[in-house]
Homo-oligomer: A and B are copies of this chain.
């Protein structure tokens, strides 16, 4: 096993596309040896810069990702794209619409595109997105772009995994401004008002800037609003310049180091949580829970059951 993993590691470090694909599957499915694989590549990561592109369905995330990738390629950078499909936690089924369409990039050997399922686990998503980007990082990709469709928790997780987060909106988003307050507002390093040739763009820009102005902020970076028409490539060069500004800002005064330390901390905590849960819920304990639900739930409160199940374990923590 460990020999296969070590060969896979070698393949990744050489930038072999098959090895990258194989490694990502190993990680996504948490197959045997995935921890060794991640440990192997750990000392080779940290170079790739990670960008999150997020926003409501139909806002043009794929088109913008496409244009930004072309700009990055022209400057000689290798680019990895991780497209995150939100999966309903209730059915396991993934969204079919709004998938990336990037035929012209697919043939470029300097671009690696990968889809990622979300599976609804919250802390786990940020961790897994980070791990897939780590593979691309170790393989020599200079930039990794996360493109996420969907709303809510997924975005927050991706922002956690990204160095720079871009939030896309369109002039029609209207009500979106209100939902922004619930989280998107806080994660954006740069706002992009895409399809800005449509009516309502100026009004939206003003609304957004006003909302941003109201926002309390405890750091020195103030997100700006950029207008683009991504399918014509309009405004994307200016956006790229602003992205470089944000990177310079992060590089100054340890902001990037701090951000990545928080990510590392989150990753360690998630790994530990998942390992403990995996070991705790063995067949014996699953059976205790099952019996409780089937026959004892009237007699014992769930809290006392939890206490009983934890009794022995919590003693060993001391």
A interface residues, Cβ below 8 angstroms from B: 35, 38-39, 42-43, 56-58, 86, 88-91, 93, 95-98, 120, 122, 149-154, 156, 172, 174-175, 178-179, 181-183, 185-187, 216, 261, 264-265, 267-269, 271-273, 275-277, 279-282, 289, 292-293, 297-298, 301-307, 309-310, 313-314, 316-317
Closest 3 CB pairs of A and B: A152-B152, A42-B301, A153-B153
A90 touches B186 (CB 8 A): yes
Chain B neighbourhood of A175, CB < 8 A = 56-58, 172
Q: Are A313 and B56 in contact (CB under 8 A)?
A: no
Asked whether, in the complex, the Cβ of A89 is within 8 Å of the Cβ of B302, the reply is no
**Which single member of B88, B187, B271 contacts A182 (CB below 8 Å)?**
B88
Query: Which of B86, B178, B186, B302 contacts A88 (CB under 8 A)?
Result: B186
A293 to B183, CA, bound (A): 27
Cα–Cα, bound, A152→B183 (Å): 11
Given A90-B183, A122-B122, A267-B302, A280 contacting B272 (CB threshold 8 A): yes
Question: Chain B residues near A298 (CB, 8 Å)?
Answer: 43
Count copies of this chain in the complex.
Answer: 2
Distance in Å from the Cβ of A40 to the closest Cβ of chain B? 8
CA distance A90 to B262 in the complex (A): 13
Tell me, rounded to whole Å, the shortest Cβ–Cβ distance linking A81 to chain B: 20
User: 15 A-B residue contacts at CB 8 Å?
Assistant: A43-B298, A90-B156, A90-B187, A97-B178, A98-B178, A149-B182, A150-B183, A152-B152, A172-B174, A272-B280, A272-B306, A272-B310, A275-B306, A276-B280, A280-B317
CB distance from A186 to the nearest CB of B (A): 4
- Chain B residue at minimum C-beta to C-beta distance from A282: B317
The smallest C-beta distance from A302 to any residue of chain B, in angstroms, reads 5
